[in-house]
Amino acid sequence: MPAESQPYQAVQQLTIDEGHAGQRIDNFLGWCLKGVPKSRIYRLVRKGEVRVNSRRVRQDYRLQMGDRVRVPPVRRAQPREIGTPDPRSRERIAQSILHEDDALLVLDKPSGIAVHGGSGRSFGIIEALRTMRPKAPFLELVHRLDKDTSGCLVVAKKRSALRALHESFRGHRVEKTYLALVAGRLTGGTRTVSEPLRRNTLRSGERIVRVDAEGKASKSVFTVRAATAAASLAEIVIHTGRTHQIRVHAASTGHPLAGDPKYGDREFNKLTRKSGLRRLFLHAHRLRFPHPADGKNMSIRAPLPLELAEVLSEMGVRSDKKF
């Protein structure tokens, strides 16, 4: 038996309770078959090895209270050992909470910390929160930000809140506003970019996103807030949440993001580095969404990090609006 795998588990017959009602079957299986790749889970559903009330279902089937789910025996990968965040990282995360109530919390995620562990990272924001709050019954990411992106990140504290927030994201009832420094002078005030995007994996294994007519529909609205001949500060509202969407859309217009090693401009990155930039200049500035408990409109704002504000000052990119 390979060292990295565990023995097959017995067939499980699980009854869906209130905590999992409304959840997609593929996400439920990911929860109860930890360590099993998503591709394997999809294959189990397609082949009919997973049954709900003795019937085959599609991977997007939403579970109902009282459903009986047959989970087949599956060889699982050895659980990945989760590291413990160092005291400095714990302190950064603890101080980054912008809002918290019984249903959710919103963090101003620091740049350089991933939202979850994996791919060589021993821990992420969610693992750190669970370590810091061992008695919390439920903590799950509602959405994601790239490791090098800072700003507003929502974590659900109840499964009912997670379901409601996911519905709001799917129903385009969440407004996501970012700030980014881009190369060159943006003109025209507001510009809408609707290039379709497609994810690709290179032979090296690197994930990359490209503009592709056969890709997924995507929409970003760029508004110029300050500009010089060398660089512009843009406020960006995204209407879809594709991987690397802002970075690829910005590059497609000839105005790539500062500090972007994948889609950026080498000379522009050198220029911004001389002005003190040591990270990707992309910040999730504001989130607006209906609260999952009462539907009340929430507006959470993460101020522009000091290190980014100092880069703007050094480059002479000044805005009358306070971020």
Q: Which of 60, 67, 146, 212 is catalytic?
A: 146
For helices 38-46 and 25-32, angle between their N-to-C axes, nearest 10 degrees: 120
Contact present, 323 and 317 (Cβ < 8 Å) = no
For the chain, give the longest Cα–Cα distance.
66
Rounded CA-CA distance 12/82 in Å is: 26
Q: Where in the chain is the domain with CATH 3.30.2350.10?
A: 87-167, 174-315
Q: Is 26 a catalytic residue?
A: no
| Chain position carrying tokens 């047959």 | 70
Contact present, 258 and 266 (Cβ < 8 Å) = no
The model's pLDDT over 139-172, given as tens digits with 9 standing for 90+, comes to 999 999 999 999 999 999 998 999 899 999 989 9
Q: Which fold has domain 174-315?
A: Pseudouridine synthase (3.30.2350)
- pLDDT higher than threshold 60 for residue 318: yes
- pLDDT higher than threshold 70 for residue 8: no
Rounded CA-CA distance 231/274 in Å is: 14
Residues 4-10 have a mean pLDDT of 55
| pTM given for the model | 0.79
The model's pLDDT over 112-148, given as tens digits with 9 standing for 90+, comes to 999 987 555 567 899 899 989 999 989 999 999 999 9
The reply to whether CATH 3.30.2350.10 applies to domain 87-167 is yes
Contact present, 126 and 140 (Cβ < 8 Å) = yes
Q: Where in the chain is the domain with CATH 3.10.290.10?
A: 12-71
Residues 261-283 have a mean pLDDT of 97
Q: What CATH number should be reported for the domain whose range is 12-71?
A: 3.10.290.10
Residues 246-261 have a mean pLDDT of 97
